Amino acid sequence: MDISTVIGLVLGLGAMVGMVLLEGGSPGELIGIPAAVIVFGATFAASFVQFPLKVVLSLPKMIIQTFQTHETKAAETIDQLVALADRARRDGLLTLEETAGQLDQFLKKGIMLVVDGVDSKTVSEIMETEMALTTDRHEAGIGLLDAMGGYAPTMGILGTVMGLVNVLSKLSNPEELGHLIASAFLATLYGIASANLLWLPLAGKLRGKDDRETLARRMMMAGVLSIQAGESPRLVREKLESFLAPAEREKEED
């Protein structure tokens, strides 16, 4: 589990509740069903208008992904590719098929193309196309979260305006005005909070995951092409370590 996502959400909610308590209020004052209905309901409604049904329905899956840490480890990938390069130099490219089943699906596809004798240009084109299509799929989901982060504050203002209209219709009953005004402004609170504590941060987290996955796949592609070219394991390692950040490179050398 990606604990930073949990920590961020808990801290955000905790800060809001803490402010209410410090001002002598009650956390229950932050609960408003009508405000939640208009903000979240209208935000989802706008999302359905803008995006295909398939993308919107994938929202739960995307949110789950922000709590997961299943990412390719660069050091392990480099070791795998160096081992494959060493085996290819010793026993030939065809022997790589025996170990292909244990590899990441993207890396496996590249290795199998090499084993099948596909030329390097075609291998590169196929792997580039798969990377681009994967990024496009990810961007659709990230775009949904970004859009929801834009809609939510506006829907919060909409909810507040609707609440104030209700307040104005009950001016003859002053005893209810304070409660009604507070309820009206809860919609603005929900809109701003959901955008800046939920939708936009989740979009940013998924974008970061996509960037790291793309980098890992580019490293895999470079390794596959180096193996196909018959480069030495030492040269393969040098090439692949150039994809690492300086701190990671130093750790790898140690």
Could you please report the per-residue DSSP string of 186-206? HHHHHHHHHIIIIIHHHHHHH
% the chain with pLDDT above 70? 96
Q: What is the pLDDT of residues 128-141, one digit of tens each?
A: 999 999 999 999 99
Please tell me the distance from the alpha carbon of residue 189 to that of residue 169, in angstroms, as a whole number: 23
Please tell me the distance from the alpha carbon of residue 85 to that of residue 238, in angstroms, as a whole number: 12
> DSSP code of 100?
G
27-31: long-range pairs with CB below 8 Å, 24+: 29/182, 30/186, 30/189
Let me know if 180 is exposed, middle or buried by CB neighbors in 10 A (0-12, 13-18, 19+).
Answer: middle
Q: What is the pLDDT of residues 103-121, one digit of tens each?
A: 889 999 999 999 999 999 9
Q: Give the per-residue pLDDT at 29.
A: 83
Q: Give the per-residue pLDDT at 69.
A: 77
Q: Give the per-residue pLDDT at 132.
A: 94
Specify the pTM: 0.84
Reference 198, options 2, 1, 5, 4; nearest CA is 5
Q: Give the per-residue pLDDT at 254.
A: 54
